[in-house]
Amino acid sequence: TSEYYNTFTFLEYSKQADAVFCFPCRHFSSGSKDPAFTENGVTDWKNLKKKLQKHSESSNHKQCFERWHLFKQSKEVGSVLSQLSNSHKMVVRENREYAAKVTNLLLYLATQGIALRGHDERQESTNRGNFLELCYLFASYDEAFAKKLSGSFNLTGHVTQNKHLEIAADIVKSNIIEKVQENGFKTILVDEARSFKQEQMTVCVRYTENLEIKQQFLGFVDCSKQGDADAIYQNIKQFLELAGIANIPIVAQCYDGAGVMAGHVNGVQQKMLQDYPTASMAHKLNLVLVEACKVNRTAAGFFCTLETLFTFFS
């Protein structure tokens, strides 16, 4: 009757043999087994309940029953290896999502030109810098992000920040170079950009994209060792070669009015003309700005004030 199936869940009946068997013992036994419940079948209907009770209490049956239970469980939730694999995939996905959020916060500040680090980034500091403060503000609205941020490997260290910015800069630079290469010609703009550590020059390129003029910054050229025209020319040439655009024709070159840059005999612009004879005359950017300021009273007043302040503090 159905009562037997409810009491002994391992029970199975063969209509062909007209006998009952033990399902887990037939399929999951690895050693000695009771042939009555695995091979021949039990047909003693009068004493069936006693035999089933005795069999259910045997150690071999209990082991088989446990294996059967684990097998069914693995089918429902997966094997141990599968569970470990799924757990690993989940951790990887969470780490990637966290890394993407941290990177986006970093790039947001960089895009806006906002300083990242603070003077005191300790936990008890009232101002840990814009980047960390933004991360903790974001964490207050994102529980998963907050959990990762509180860990030891949270991708907020200054070394990691610099590495992310370097990678982002390389991607942006590669996109600019690709556009210049597609365009087929360029204008270079080089000017002094002294830092507190060294003498350096900024290198910018000007090109067209869909008939629209684009002007982009490419990088710095170190001129701290030698500042003569030949050294600067070699540094610019090497920079263009490393960028992969040295073979792209130059149609114009722009420098300031210093003799070492714009000199028509031994200046940088003259040396560049030897390699790029199609380059037009060098535009003296500072003179262009001076002339522009002369016709703009607001700009003239602004620079006059700056000059007065410089003279006062000098």
**pLDDT confidence of residue 284:** 53
CA angle 236, 211, 270 (to 5 degrees): 25
185, 178, 240: which is closest to 208 by C-alpha? 185
pLDDT along the chain (314 residues), means of 10: 78 87 85 78 86 87 86 67 72 91 95 90 87 94 92 88 93 93 89 74 90 91 82 90 89 76 76 77 60 84 88 82
CA–CA distance, 296 with 292 (Å, rounded to integer): 7
**pLDDT confidence of residue 24:** 84
Residue type, 26: R
Kindly state the DSSP code that residue 44 receives in the 8-state scheme.
Answer: -
Query: Which run of H or of E encompasses 65?
Result: helix 59-77
Kindly state the DSSP code that residue 234 receives in the 8-state scheme.
Answer: H
CA–CA distance, 75 with 290 (Å, rounded to integer): 80
**pLDDT confidence of residue 282:** 41
Domains of the chain by range and CATH? Answer: 2-77 (no CATH), 83-156 (no CATH), 183-281 (3.30.420)
28, 38, 36: which is closest to 62 by C-alpha? 28
